[in-house]
Amino acid sequence: MKAGLFNGTVVAVVVLHLTAVGTTACTNILVTKGASVDGSVMITYACDGEFHPHLRCNRSQDFSKDSMKQITTWGGEVRGEIKQVCHTHHYVSLMNEHQLAISETTFSGREELKNPDGMLHYWDLMQLALQRAKTAREAIEVMTSLVDEYGYRSTGESFSIADTKEAWILEMIGPGKGGKGALWVALRVPDGMVACHANKARIGEFPRDDPNNCVYSPNVVNFAIKKGYYDPASSEPFRFNEAYCPSTPKNQRYASTRVWSVFRRIAPSLNLSPDYHRAVEGAKPYPLWVKPDKKLSVADVMGLMRDHYEGTPFDMTEGIDAGPHGTPNRWRPIHWQAGESAAEYAWERPISTQQTGFSFVTQSRGHLPDPIGGVVWYGVDDTYTTCYVPLYCSIDRVPGSFATGNLREFDLDSAWWAFNFVANFANVRYERMIEDIRAAQQDLESYLLALQPAVERTALHLYQQDKKLMQRYLTDYCVMHGEMVVERWRELGKYLVSKYNDGYVKDENGRPQEVGYTEAWLTRVLQDRESNLKVPERKTAKPESKLID
């Protein structure tokens, strides 16, 4: 039995499956019930990587007592088998029919602890938990029990796990080649608080005598001592993050800057210093969670997922690296060297990035029946230029445009390509086009959020009369409005090409106007090339003087 681990029934469900490749660059925010305006427990996910995500719809299944489940690679190659449960649950994206939601960020940590002999990757654990658990506590039980039995194959991982009552952070890393199980710790985020993680282990000290709020693997400390990751004779307490993912200037800048930016926006009263994410010696790490200055709405949380450090010294829309039109996008690689210097440089890593495959904000609400209370607000591509659409956890069909297309071929039938076209074209004149994009985004998202109470009143009435009809109603609503948003984005792309054609900007009458560049950019250009660009003044030739005999 794991130290302090709660007991819980493992139940199963019908599946609406989202396929994506594993990534190592994601951002999660966890909002507890007491920190939200409407009592929602919310988690977010920006699944970042150059891939084309697909939404899949899978039905629940019943299995015989001795059935086995195959564990496969993304290419379909069978890696092994695990014991199947008698019934599996339904899930949309990464939320199941009981409003259990899961997301993740990869912290990698000590690479030598990756176990190639383990069977289960982190994405296997997420999907299996959604199939087999009803609550966050049950999900932790499922995930940790499975790695105990079948082994853990991934590097270090931070999971966000939410249900209608609680939000938990579970951090896990393997034992190295040939090892058994995994090293892990899980903490409940206190009600009224907001937590965040972004590719760096976040759990430091943790209580070992509070099983209601903290559970952990029995060997999590002793293993670190054995490996030399922690010295109990030191004056320092054991910290999971420093033992298994030691802080470095590189990971502090890459990961902790995002955490700082979330916290500085929701709790400006804390006046958190940027010193830690700039690796200033002696600077204190950011807390695992903070109390927001005001409770957060769904729209607020969507806004938090849109961030390039605007208004800070790290604002990516400013400086020569933002180009003449203030684009916050920086092309990879993120770390680079230039010139004769051996120094390494790095672009900032924001929450919003062009590499995002999909993102979401989930709502789990205990005051509504599960089929209505659970919503995934889902978007594809860059969080800054996407538009989130509602997917209720009970729907049995997804918008077709979110389930088609591939990375190799441009196809506007694909929602991912429709959003990518707009986001990529915006780099041509970002500071102007982003205003058009945000206007469309705000119009659609505010409309969908405003519709939500009326839609749910109707769904609740149908739930009491005919649950099948309620499911059909919510499915039709999500599919219709998802496709409406994608069509709006296709039209937005056409509009931007027309309005910003050939470097001109059309006015309200459709007439092309010369708008040129900002004075700040022109000043920088002149610093480098003034002699080439300056138009010479015409000089009047002096008349030749006549010689006098």
What are the residue ranges of helices labelled H in 237-393? 240-244, 249-251, 257-266, 298-304, 370-373
- Residue 449 CB coordination number (10 Å): 16
Q: Is the dihedral of CA 424, 16, 301, 371 positive or negative?
A: positive
Q: Show me where the domains of the chain are located.
A: 18-296, 356-506
Summarize the chain as % helix, strand, coil (round to 5).
Answer: 35, 20, 45
DSSP string, 495-544: HHHHHTGGG-EE-TTS-EE-----HHHHHHHHHHHHHHHPPPPPPPPPPP
Q: What confidence category does residue 548 fall into, taking pLDDT thresholds of 50, 70 and 90? A: low
Residue 82: in which H helix or E strand, if any? strand 78-83
pLDDT score recorded for residue 58: 78
405-458 per-position pLDDT tens digit:
999 999 999 999 999 999 999 999 999 999 999 999 999 999 999 999 999 999
Secondary structure (3-state) at 157: strand
Mean pLDDT of the 180-189 span: 98
Over 70: is that where the pLDDT of 89 sits? yes
Q: What confidence category does residue 18 fall into, taking pLDDT thresholds of 50, 70 and 90? A: very low
pLDDT score recorded for residue 4: 42
Mean pLDDT of the 337-345 span: 87
Report whether 143 contacts 106 (CB < 8 A).
no
Q: What is the DSSP letter of 256?
A: I
Over 60: is that where the pLDDT of 6 sits? no
Query: Which of 143-152, 253-262, 465-474, 526-535 is predicted with the least confidence, judged by mean pLDDT?
Result: 526-535
pLDDT score recorded for residue 11: 29
pLDDT score recorded for residue 546: 58
pLDDT score recorded for residue 544: 65
Q: What confidence category does residue 205 fall into, taking pLDDT thresholds of 50, 70 and 90? A: very high
507-527 per-position pLDDT tens digit:
999 999 999 999 989 999 999
Q: What confidence category does residue 264 fall into, taking pLDDT thresholds of 50, 70 and 90? A: very high
Over 70: is that where the pLDDT of 9 sits? no
Mean pLDDT of the 104-115 span: 97
Over 60: is that where the pLDDT of 17 sits? no
Q: What is the DSSP letter of 427?
A: G
pLDDT score recorded for residue 56: 82
> How far is residue 107 from each of residues 24, 198, 287, 477, measured CA to CA in Å?
7, 8, 17, 37
Structure tokens at 71: 């564990």
Tally of helices (H runs) and strands (E runs) in the chain:
12, 22
Question: Is the peptide bond prior to 390 cis by the omega test (within 30 degrees of 0)?
Answer: no
Q: What is the pTM of this model?
A: 0.94
> If you average pLDDT over every residue of the chain, what do you get?
93
Mean pLDDT of the 485-493 span: 98
Over 50: is that where the pLDDT of 331 sits? yes
pLDDT score recorded for residue 8: 34
Structure tokens at 286: 């950011």
Mean pLDDT of the 339-359 span: 93
Q: What confidence category does residue 545 fall into, taking pLDDT thresholds of 50, 70 and 90? A: low
Mean pLDDT of the 112-120 span: 97
19-39 per-position pLDDT tens digit:
344 446 799 999 999 999 999
Tell me how far apart the alpha carbons of residues 247 and 285 are, in angstroms, rounded to a whole number: 10
Q: Region of 309 please: left (phi>0), alpha (psi -120 to 50) or beta.
A: left
